[in-house]
Amino acid sequence: MPDISTLALFAAATLAILVIPGPAVVFIVTRSVAQGRSAGFVSVLGVHAGSLVHIAAAALGVSALLATSATAFTVVKLAGVAYLLWLGVSKLLARGSGTVVGEEAAPVVHSRRRMFWEGFVVNVLNPKTAIFFLAFLPQFTDPAAGPVLPQILVFGAIWCALGLISDGVVALLSSAIAGRVRSSARAQRRVEVGSGVVYLGLAAFLTTQKA
């Protein structure tokens, strides 16, 4: 198994990468702002359930296939692009997040199940995440320390734990302004449009990525 110094180095590197905004962070922020803290936390759980898929893929060698097969990479990339486009267009075409009652707006509430699975799909349909696990994890594995598979699982568990903490903080901070945003139909619409533009931008960026 990896020694303490290797685990500490991996944890530090993981935290540095987790704070970089991506599709998952955008999803968590938008759901936290739209529906508050509990919605953000459910979204975080969905996102990192998706992380488990990438960890399993790295452990079983699927990530290696994506890195060596241009066709496999392209198929997964296009699936991710299509989903981001769908999210972006849905946000832009929305007629508003709720109806105004007096001076306050009543937001449309998405079920926890829907938020969980949307977060799951957002994180699974990201080929660069799979490539990341292939390129990043092997740098910390050491065949001399024992079988590589258990080492990958240990590193994956650290990734998920730190991800749950860091994304949980994002959800908490985002939900802090949720009440202010939900009280204004105009602010809600701005959040919807802003998140839609970001999703479309991420989709455009993803199309430029190569294996």
With cut-offs at 50, 70 and 90, classify the pLDDT of residue 158: very high
Residue 16 has pLDDT above 50, yes or no: yes
Residue 210: alpha-carbon gap to chain centroid: 20
Identify the pLDDT of residue 101. 36
Report the 10 Å Cβ neighbour count for 99: 11
Sign of CA dihedral 44, 48, 198, 94: negative
Confidence of residue 67 (pLDDT cuts 50, 70, 90): low
| Residue with the larger pLDDT of the pair 94 and 6 | 6
DSSP-derived 3-state class of residue 206: helix
Residue 9 has pLDDT above 50, yes or no: yes
What is the domain partition of the chain in residue ranges?
4-12+23-207
- The C-alpha atoms of residue 28 and residue 23 are separated, in whole angstroms, by 9
Q: What is the pLDDT of residue 187?
A: 63
Q: What pLDDT, on the 0 to 100 scale, is given for residue 127?
A: 66
Q: Region 41-51: what's the mean pLDDT?
A: 93
The string of pLDDT tens digits covering residues 102-153 is 334 445 567 888 889 999 998 888 766 776 776 677 777 777 777 778 888 8
User: Residue 100: what pLDDT?
Assistant: 38
pTM for this entry: 0.69
Using 50, 70 and 90 to split pLDDT, how confident is the model at 81?
confident
**Percent share of the chain, pLDDT over 70:** 74
Report the residue count for the chain. Answer: 211
Q: How confident is the model at residue 197 (pLDDT cuts 50, 70, 90)?
A: confident
CB atoms within 10 A of CB 34: 25
